[in-house]
Amino acid sequence: MTKEKAQARREHLQKMRAQQKSKERRAALLMWGAGGLVIVLLVGVVGFYLVRQASQTSMGDVANYKYDAGQHVWNAVTYKETPPVGGQHNNYWQKCAVYDKPIHPEHAVHALEHGATWITYRPDLPAAQLDALKKTVNSTGDPEYMLVSPFPNLPAPVVASSWGHQLKLDKADDPKLAAFIKKFQNGPDTPEPGAICGGPDAITTTADQAPLPPEPKGQASTPMETISPSNQ
């Protein structure tokens, strides 16, 4: 009987050990499975975020145009795009700033030639959207090359323009606005990189405050950059 009891005890212990090992294997599998699931979920979340971020800041909707620089004129100009993105422009450039009234496009286009981004918005843009727009432009890019103004009859609530590039937006808080500013402000297509968007010769008035400046006698074909006291 003693041998039988001992044998039975050994078999019982072996059985318990086998059950314990089986439990440990199941626990390990559950742990690794849960860990793998967490990794898969994390990869999925990160991937979704990156894809979503890329789509939100994609520049695929930017319209591109080709204009020759240096076309300084004194007369009013009829532009093909609304707002314009290049072409003929006044000899004086608009000082880069935030304006609450429309400005002369001829001055704004000259600012674009100097590397500015011009953010225009419909005059009836809701106050909350206007606040979001100002928040974006105040926190993005170089304020020395940021031009903001209302523009009547825009094709979209907000339009971002640089020399030769334009992006129409339905909302002022669209992430593509900041992406546009970062990419095109003083970008590689800037005709006059390094030119100022301020200075004593810059226009600071809005369209209702002053007309386009008249042509000075004897300077009909001379751009203001070449006769400015600051460039002599």
Tell me, yes or no, whether 34 and 135 share the same domain. Answer: no
Where residue 56 falls among pLDDT bands split at 50, 70, 90? Answer: low
How many domains in the chain? 2
Question: DSSP for 69-123?
Answer: S--EESS----SSSS--SS-EESSPBPSSB-SS---HHHHHHHHHTT-EEEEE-T
| pLDDT the model gives residue 71 | 96
Say whether pLDDT at 111 is over 60.
Answer: yes
Taking Cα atoms as reference points, which of 102, 114, 104 lies closest to residue 75? Answer: 104
Tell me, yes or no, whether 72 and 148 share the same domain. Answer: yes
Tell me, yes or no, whether 47 and 96 share the same domain. Answer: no
Q: Does residue 208 fall inside a structural domain? A: yes
| pLDDT the model gives residue 217 | 83
Tell me, yes or no, whether 145 and 213 share the same domain. Answer: yes
Distances in whole angstroms, Cα of residue 201 to Cα of each of 49, 76, 198, 205: 46, 19, 7, 12
State the residue range of the domain holding 86.
63-226
What are the tens digits of pLDDT across the range 126-150?
999 999 999 999 999 999 999 999 9
Q: What is the DSSP letter of 210?
A: -
Q: Does residue 10 fall inside a structural domain? A: yes
Tell me, yes or no, whether 149 and 34 share the same domain. Answer: no
Tell me, yes or no, whether 89 and 69 share the same domain. Answer: yes
In this structure, the chain runs to a length of: 232
Mean pLDDT over 52-78 rounds to 86
Mean pLDDT over 183-211 rounds to 96
What are the tens digits of pLDDT across the range 139-192?
999 999 999 999 999 999 999 999 999 999 999 999 999 999 999 999 999 999
Taking Cα atoms as reference points, which of 121, 123, 109, 138 lies closest to residue 197? Answer: 109
**Strand segments (E) across the chain:** 63-64, 72-73, 89-90, 117-121, 146-150, 158-162, 165-169
Q: Does residue 205 fall inside a structural domain? A: yes
Tell me, yes or no, whether 47 and 144 share the same domain. Answer: no
- Give the span between the Cα atoms of 183 and 60, in whole angstroms: 13
Q: Does residue 28 fall inside a structural domain? A: yes
Tell me, yes or no, whether 31 and 80 share the same domain. Answer: no
Give percent of the chain above pLDDT 90. 66
Tell me, yes or no, whether 134 and 165 share the same domain. Answer: yes
- Give the span between the Cα atoms of 182 and 146, in whole angstroms: 11
Q: Does residue 231 fall inside a structural domain? A: no
Tell me, yes or no, whether 41 and 76 share the same domain. Answer: no
Tell me, yes or no, whether 168 and 101 share the same domain. Answer: yes
| pLDDT the model gives residue 26 | 80
Question: Taking the model in full, what pTM does it have?
Answer: 0.73
Q: Final residue of a domain: which of 29, 56, 83?
A: 56
Where residue 231 falls among pLDDT bands split at 50, 70, 90? Answer: very low
- Give the span between the Cα atoms of 40 and 96, in whole angstroms: 48
| Mean pLDDT lowest among 180-184, 203-207, 210-214, 227-231 | 227-231
Q: What is the DSSP letter of 203?
A: B
